[in-house]
Every structure is written in C-alpha cells, then in structure tokens.
Structure 1
C-alpha cells in the first residue's frame, strides 16, 4: 500500500509539475542522442579502420624503417655526396689542365711581297735577276690550327691547398650532420612511439572514466525517478558523462594525428594503423656519471664537432686570403699543328711559363684578409658558446632524469593507494554499503594513475635517450 502511494505521489509530481516533466524529457532525449552519437562515431571509426592498412611495430623495427625511409636522412646523405663532389672539384686543381684548341679561319685578303724584275742585279752575263717580276704570297686565305697544351699551376698550389682544406671541412661537417640526423631521427622515433603508447594508456583511462560517468548517470536518473534526488543532479551527471565522451573522442583524434605524423617519419603510407608493442622497449640505456658526461659532451657532441669544422674552414679562408699576395706562376707546354700560316712549320712545340701578379687591386686583397680574420674570430667565439651551451644542456638533462626518477617513486606510491582504494570500494559495493559508481570511479582512477606512471617511465626513458643523443650516440 505504501509503495502504491509512493508511486502515485511520484506520478503526481511528474504530471503536475511541467518544469520537472520538461527537464526529465530533455534528459532522456539528450541521453538518446548521446548514445546514438557514440554509436555512430564507433561505426564510422570501424568503417574507416577496416579500410586502413595495419602494421605491427616494435621499437627497433620502427627505428630501422626511419633509417631507411625518412626524407630528412636522405637529404643529409645527399648533402654529404654533394660536399664530396665539391671537394673533388677543389682537389682537381692540383693536377695539370690539358686542353685542345682548334680553329678554322678564312681571311678575305692577304698581303704579299712583290719583287720586280732585276731587283737583285742586271749584268750582261746573267741578265735581270730575277728575270721577271715575282710575287711571294704570305700564307693562305684558309688556315687550320690545332694545339694541345698543358698548364701546371705552381705557386697557386698554396691557394688550392687552402680551398681543399675548406672543402674537407665541409665534407666532415656534412658527415657530422648526417650522423646527428640519424641520432635525432632515432630519438624522434622513440619520442613518437612513447607518445602514442602514453596516449593509448590515457585513452583507456578516459574510457574507464566515461564508463564510471555512465554508471553515475544511471544511478542519478534512477534516484530522480524514485524521488530521492533532484533533477539537477541527473543533469549534472549527464553533463559529466558527455564531458568524458568528449575526452574520449579528443584522445582518439590526438592518437590519429600522432599516428599520421609517425607514418610520415617512418615513410609508411599515411593512414596506416600502427599496433605498437609496449614490451619491445628493451632495457634502459647505461649512462655515464654527470661529471663524465659533461667532460665527454665537448668531445663528442655533434654541435661542438660541427662548430670545430667551421673554425677549420675559417682558418683555411685566412690562409687563402694571405696566399692571394703570392704571384701566380704556371708552367706551360703545347704541341701545335698549323696549315696556311706563313713562316711556321706544320708541326711545332712551345714550352715556357706564365707569370701573373696584380700590382694594384684597390685594397681588395687586404679587405678580404681582414674579413677572413673576422670570420675566424666569429667561428672561434661560436665554438666556445656551443661548448658552454651543450654543457648546460647535458647538466639540465641529468637534472630532469633525477626529477623523473623521484616522480616515478611518487606515482608508484599513488598507484598503490589507488589500487587499495579500488579494492575497498569494490568490497563495499559487494556488501551494498556503497554505490557501483564509486567502485567504477575508483577503477578509473587506478587506470589514470597507471597511465601517469607509464608516461613518467617513458619520459625517463626518453630523457636518457636524449642524453645519449647529446653524447653523439644513437638511442
């Protein structure tokens, strides 16, 4: 009888209070739309995923793919080949240059030598010498020349050697950049791999939180229907559930975006779904002590090594600017053939040397020497600054690893507390001493803390890999 009276009372409340009736109707409609929206999203995602290629990856395999396919690495390797070609061009100047020059010419008019009759004598015994007028031609209207010559630089060797030093420094810099690019890409692969694993862990925690919010919404809806709670509580619970659904969708979109970027880094077709193996990370790298790392970073860091090659190139520039004051002396040798040129045999050789020196150039050489010395000072100063910067970076990296190790200990303790709280809450639900939503929330909190622990552990792993990269090692 009491239950019937209570049911009549509730029905009276609903039918007699239009605002409450509208609120409950709005709540039911919103719930229906939310469920249909989530289902549509799931169906849409399933249809999209079914048409996408899938690739299972371990961390080591991901690094191998990046080493093979990454475009940044290809550009770095092409830069090495480009600078090696430039060095070959610079070194070619050491050797003699041999070339052939051939010409065919037609002359419209030639000058000749006219000798009149009797120009050399006239006697009774011989008569006129010559007996008649003579014309001696000078060559032919058509001339042919061909000569093969050799030019050997002599004093120019000093400037050629300076150019060779500069080209060698460029090659070494490109090789250092290639190695650094490989190490950086390896570090980037680790970072993106860890980010996706962390995002997936947070997605699972968010789904657990959404499930807990759904249970809480059901409890509040039931309480409103039974008259034990106000409508605003149900609306707030539903809003919290929708917030969690939004967080799930946001997290899934973030994972999709990260996967697209990872596909591009690995050289895979964009849109490839990646199944990452979280158990393939391997052991954490063994790092030297802070003091040893600071001492080693100035000897092995790619930025420092590249800065030193810049100094070497600047020194070569100073040497080349000084050698500009040395006269250019070259040895020459040539073998020629001609036809149609007067007073020359058909085949003949020429040997000798060439001397060239600028007596006045308006101060160009002096200005270039001054500029080269300034560039050397700038390069040396930049080297000192780079050494200081990497020492600071390596020290800060060690500080970060120590902080993350401490944070891992803290999160581990928090996880133990969350697990115990979830166990107690589950027991209370079994004993009907607490609501199911409390156990669901406790379970979601456990997964959230697990995700935070994974994120911190992978962050420590990545910080250690970053130190390896600073020391010139591949993570």
Structure 2
C-alpha cells in the first residue's frame, strides 16, 4: 500500500473512531439520565438489604410457618371438646301392643284393658345433641416427641434466617467491593486508552514525516482499539454488578448506584486461627442447623418407640335427646377409651428401624459438617495471609510506579522523552492503584467471610 493512501486512510479513520466513542458516551449518559439514582454507603446498603431483600423475607416467613406448625403440635396436649348433633326422621316406628284382657278379665271390670292398646316407642322426628371431651393420656409420649421435632424445626428455621442475614450482608460487601474495584480498573483502562491515543498520534506524525513505517501507525491504532475494548468490557462488568446489586437491595432493576468508597470502615478484628477453629462449633449456622437435625431425628426415634404404647384416653359427654325411646332428655356419659394395634404386619418395627437409621445419618452429617467448616476456616485464614502479602507487594509496586511516572514526566518536560511514555507510566500508576484497591478489598472480603463462618454478620 502506498504511503499517501495509508496516511489518508488513517486521517479519516481516527476521527471517525473518536466520534463513535464520543457518541457512545453521550448515548450512555442520556440513557443513565433517565434512570433513578441512589447514593449508598456500605452501612446503608446493608440496612437496605436487611429490610427489602426477598430472600430474607422468605426466611422470616419460614420461621413464622415453623412456629405455627409447632403451635399445632402443642395443641394435642389439650383435651378435645366437640359437639355432635343430629336430626332424624323415621319412616316407621316399632310399638308395643297390649292385647285386650292382657291384665285380667272379671265379671265386674270386664277385660283389662278393654281393647288392644298400641304404645309407641319414641317419635318419628328425633333430635340428639352431645358435647363431649376426650383427654389423651398415654398419647402424651407421642405428642411430646412431635413437639420436640416441631421445636427443632423452629430452631432450624431461625438458624437459617440468621444464616440468610449473614449471607446477604456478605453478598452486599462482595458486590460493593466488586463495583468499586471495577470502577478503579475502568479509570485505569480509560487512562491507558488515553495513553494509547497519544501514542497513536505520535506514530501518525512519524509516518507522515517519514520517520516510521506504515505498520507502526496501524499497530498503534490497533493498540488504541484494544484499550477501548477493555474500557467497554469494564463498563459492561459494572452494569452487570449493578443489576445484581439492585436485586439484592430490593431496588428496581436499572437503578444507578453511586457508591461511597470512604464508608467502608475498618476491617473486622478476627480471632486467631486456633481460637476460630475451637469456637466455630458453638456459632456456625451450618453446624447449629445440623445439630438441630440430630435432635429432630432423636424425637422421631422416641415417637417410633412410643407407637408400642396403647392409646388410652378419658372421655366425658353430656347429651340431650328428643324422640329416642327409653332415654331421658338430658343425660351424661363418662368412661375411657383404649386402642391398640394387635398386628400391623411389622410396620412399627420397620418405622423404628428407619428412625434409628435416620438418626445415624444425621449424626454422621453433623460430624461431616463440622469437618468441612473447619477446613473452610483454615483455608480462609490461609487466603487472608496470602492477601496480606499481596497487599504489601502491590503497595511496594505502586511506590515504584509513582516514582517512575514522576521521572518520566520530568523527562517529557525536558523534551528527553515522548509524551506517550509519560502517559503510559501514568496509566500504569492508576492500574497499580486499582490492583492495590482490589487486593485490599479482597483481604477485607476474606476477613468478612471468616466472620460469617463464625456465625457473625459482616
């Protein structure tokens, strides 16, 4: 390709590319202007998530549901009082017939009775109403076992609610940190694109002056487009994180969030590794939930054993009737009820065996959960130590980058170096700053993760 053709092509392409980027920025600005904007600090974001997150609302409803189920189980302790009333109409009644003279026949009185008599039994329209009370006695063992299982369910629901709160708080930290980090990388990418643009202009002039080959200008333009692609990629990552953050906070999707990087506060104070491993069994939500599952399985074993006890209940009933023969209108009934399955095909024995197996499974799962959490905590402490070392290394690298940028700026001022070199060094400073922020926030998040494993809200 001829030199003048290349120069004309670059002359037209570069302004068009810059114009397209400017149009994209203006369109994005106009699109963002129509969306609601919310300024957030990290504490405010956590508070908003605690109030509006749908997962937390479901966890709270699960607690209320479990408490209601326990109330139903506890109601079996109390006697059952019920009323049963009936209205009957009989098409035909059986009567007692007394023949004439059945009680004697004399010349003085004649036959007694003088004619056949029919004595009716009751009435064709009969009314009955009875209010009865049944109090379980031996069933109390089964009822108590069911109450224990329901209480374990309530505790599991409450533990899950606490775990959901801690998890949502951790997610808020993660998304908050991710957005801040990506915004820092976006700023660094824009400065890198600016440096690439300066380098592109220098190469274009060099080609025009015959000091460089055509390929240098093309390579500089390709490098500039690569930097622009990085800018767009970072911006898309921020938009995706914003959508996830809107959902976690319970805000309408598309809400623009203005995050305050100065509201992070201090990293949490953590116990030592040995102290954390020794203490997590008393506070980790997964361990506590597994422990309540064991309690529920123990209650199931008790209920299966209690199935061998006969059901004995006391009962009392007060009844009213009208139209029923040989009964007074109002009368009472007292007694007891006994029920026992003499043969059930081995169902009770099989259920007891099943309950014991489920108890063994729950106890084994508890042990496995404790082991898993201990490993996770140990790995989390390893990660925090590595991140602490990474922060120190990147901090030292930043100091070197800043000094290199200062020297490069001085050389440009003395016309001893191209402006593109100083721009590249300046972009490298911001890229290292973004890496340092990412390392520090990563350490912050790792410490929050340990806090969450110990059963505390980050």
Which TM bucket (shorter chain)?
over 0.9
1:125 paired to 2:103: no
1:151 paired to 2:128: no
Q: Equivalent residue for 1:227? A: 210
1:403 paired to 2:395: no
The separation in 2 between residues aligned to 1:30 and 1:349, in whole angstroms, is 105
C-alpha displacement at 1:187, in angstroms? Answer: 0.6
The separation in 1 between residues aligned to 2:348 and 2:23, in whole angstroms, is 76
Return the TM-score normalized by structure 2. 0.99
- Over residues 228-279 of structure 1, what are the superposed CA-to-partner deviations in whole Å (9 max), with x where a residue is unaligned? 0011100010011011111111111111111111011111121111111111
C-alpha displacement at 1:130, in angstroms? Answer: 1.5
The separation in 2 between residues aligned to 1:51 and 1:351, in whole angstroms, is 78
Structure 2 residue matching 1:56: 3-state secondary structure: strand
Q: Equivalent residue for 1:377? A: 360
The separation in 1 between residues aligned to 2:284 and 2:332, in whole angstroms, is 58
Q: Pairwise mapping of residues 245-324 of structure 1 onto structure 2 (< 5 A)?
A: 245-324=228-307
The separation in 1 between residues aligned to 2:173 and 2:78, in whole angstroms, is 49
Q: Equivalent residue for 2:195? A: 212
- Over residues 359-378 of structure 1, what are the superposed CA-to-partner deviations in whole Å (9 max), with x where a residue is unaligned? 00011100000000000000
C-alpha displacement at 1:124, in angstroms? Answer: 2.4
The separation in 1 between residues aligned to 2:109 and 2:348, in whole angstroms, is 72
C-alpha displacement at 1:120, in angstroms? Answer: 2.1
The separation in 1 between residues aligned to 2:90 and 2:440, in whole angstroms, is 89
Structure 1 residue matching 2:2: 3-state secondary structure: helix
Structure 2 residue matching 1:117: 3-state secondary structure: coil
Q: Equivalent residue for 2:316? A: 333
Q: Pairwise mapping of residues 29-428 of structure 1 onto structure 2 (< 5 A)?
A: 29-428=12-411
The separation in 2 between residues aligned to 1:457 and 1:470, in whole angstroms, is 20
* Total equivalences in the alignment: 458
Unpaired runs of at least 5, structure 1? 1-17
C-alpha displacement at 1:23, in angstroms? Answer: 2.6
C-alpha displacement at 1:54, in angstroms? Answer: 1.1
- Over residues 16-50 of structure 1, what are the superposed CA-to-partner deviations in whole Å (9 max), with x where a residue is unaligned? xx533333333233213211210110110110111
The separation in 2 between residues aligned to 1:419 and 1:142, in whole angstroms, is 106
- Over residues 131-186 of structure 1, what are the superposed CA-to-partner deviations in whole Å (9 max), with x where a residue is unaligned? 21000111111111111110101100000000000000000000000011101100
C-alpha displacement at 1:415, in angstroms? Answer: 0.5
1:461 paired to 2:438: no
Return the TM-score normalized by structure 1. 0.95
The separation in 2 between residues aligned to 1:195 and 1:34, in whole angstroms, is 30
The separation in 2 between residues aligned to 1:218 and 1:208, in whole angstroms, is 15
